Amino acid sequence: MAGLAEIRSTFLNYFKKHGHEEVKSSTLVPSNDPTLMFTNSGMVQFKNVFTGLESRSYDKAVTSQKCLRAGGKHNDLDNVGYTSRHHTFFEMLGNFSFGNYFKEKAIPLAWDLITKEFSLPKERLLVTVFHTDNEAIEIWKKYAGLSDSQIIKINTVDNFWSMGSTGPCGPCSEIFFDHGSGYEGTPPGEDGDEGDRYIEIWNLVFMQFNRDSNGKLNPLPKPSVDTGMGLERIAAVMQGVNSNYDTDLLSNLVKSPNNLLKVNDAISHKVIADHIRSVVFLLLEGILPSNEGRGYVLRRILRRAVRHGYKLGARSPFMSKLVDCLVKEMGEAYPQLAQSKKLIEDAIHQEEKKFFSTLETGISILNKEILELNNKLIPGDLAFKLHD
Ligand code: GLY
């Protein structure tokens, strides 16, 4: 069974074999974009290449990009724990063409990777296309041999990808995997809940426009390609599980002997497994917990995890103990993790310790006030004090 690390390298090697330059993941804090709080997808580091402001020595690239969706346009923080697929931190695999190829090659490259290298069965795959994109429909039919019922036309923003309120964007075609009738869910585009059955695994964006601050779509200098495949999602498919949290890396974090939380609570364990990755990778970039900006996002993520640990009975720092397991799981792909391990552990430990004592104080105030409430509503000033 292929683990996350192997799937990552298969993806990178496949596109390298097809002439793409392997580019390192950029930092979670974008260096080229004041409009974004965090890197939310693989294309962010290439934004100026798409728009023509910057040129590189290559016109095709492949990356495995660290992404954070816990602030700004894409914010999944409050969903984490309650679904099988939301993350604050995740890795996005992507191939990019800066005016080299467009749909005619992007679709065949994607199709061959998933059906040949990853051996996904064709009958379990379906795709969506932007409703007016007849060119993409024809390629899916001709090259992949997909039937009409496997190609779903969508006329909403779901099939028009944008990085943010401004910047490169374009119509997209998403590839879905059918996890089978054992799961509830309706195909994309149909009324009802997509559920756990039909899961998007890869988004092929046909980058054609640059949206300016007035909302106007200006054509890019050359039609380009940006794709995004969640590593954790494709790993779930390839490992025959439905939830990303049952894949090797995330389930190893939960099962780690250093995980002191032995109470079985799926929601809280998902929160902790997800949040430790965001916390560690933010600290690795020099962000420290604080009361504003990115530091505040880090603090919120860490405190959310601690609250879940508290619910499971933890009364002293536990998150810092998981760093060791994370370094084992991801240290090969990110060697800086091992170098900064001690500093990261200390920073987490300090912040946890502080928050545990705040929690204890808050909970004892709450319990005392509840006794005196006599079934009345909690007064606003108390709610404010507790929130504070
Ligand atoms: N940039 C493509 C995606 O995030 O899906």
User: Mind listing the pLDDT tens digit for each residue in 336-377?
Assistant: 999 999 999 999 999 999 999 998 898 888 888 888 887 788
- Cα(185)–Cα(194) distance, integer angstroms: 5
Ligand 1 atom with the smallest distance to the CA of 43 is 1
Report whether pLDDT(260) > 80: no
Distance in Å, CA 370 to ligand 1 centroid: 47
User: Mind listing the pLDDT tens digit for each residue in 171-215?
Assistant: 999 999 999 999 999 999 888 777 899 999 999 999 999 999 999
- Asked whether 203 lines ligand 1 (CB < 6 A), one says yes
Percent of the chain with pLDDT over 70: 99
Tokens 């300016």, located at residue: 212
Q: Could you tell which of 205, 211, 231 is best to mutate to test the pocket of ligand 1, judged by most ligand atoms within 8 Å of the CB?
A: 205
Distance in Å, CA 203 to ligand 1 centroid: 6
pLDDT for residue 381: 87
- Cα(300)–Cα(75) distance, integer angstroms: 13
Distance in Å, CA 258 to ligand 1 centroid: 34
Angle value at C-alpha 157, between 151 and 159, nearest 5 degrees? 30
The mean pLDDT value of the chain amounts to: 93
**β strands within 155-301, DSSP E:** 160-162, 167-178, 198-211, 217-230
Q: What is the DSSP string of 321-385?
A: GGHHHHHHHHTTT-THHHHTHHHHHHHHHHHHHHHHHHHHHHHHHHHHHHHHHTTPPPPHHHHHH
Question: Comparing C-alpha atoms, which of 332, 348, 183 is closest to residue 249?
Answer: 332
Identity of the amino acid at 162: S
Rounded to an integer, the average pLDDT of 268-275 is: 95
Ligand 1 atom with the smallest distance to the CA of 163 is 1
Neighbours of 240 (CB within 10 A): 9
Ligand 1 atom with the smallest distance to the CA of 42 is 1
- What size, in residues, is the chain? 388
- Asked whether 41 lines ligand 1 (CB < 6 A), one says yes
Tokens 């504003």, located at residue: 292
- Asked whether 205 lines ligand 1 (CB < 6 A), one says yes
pLDDT for residue 370: 84
**Helix, strand, or coil here: 32?**
coil
- Asked whether 320 lines ligand 1 (CB < 6 A), one says no
Tokens 């346009």, located at residue: 73
pLDDT for residue 124: 97
- Cα(186)–Cα(196) distance, integer angstroms: 9
Ligand 1 atom with the smallest distance to the CA of 203 is 5
Would you say 106 and 65 are in contact if contact means Cβ atoms under 8 Å apart? no
> Where do the H-state alpha helices sit in 261-340?
266-284, 293-311, 323-330, 336-339
- Asked whether 226 lines ligand 1 (CB < 6 A), one says yes
Q: What is the DSSP string of 90-119?
A: EEEEEEEESSS--HHHHHHHHHHIIIIIS-
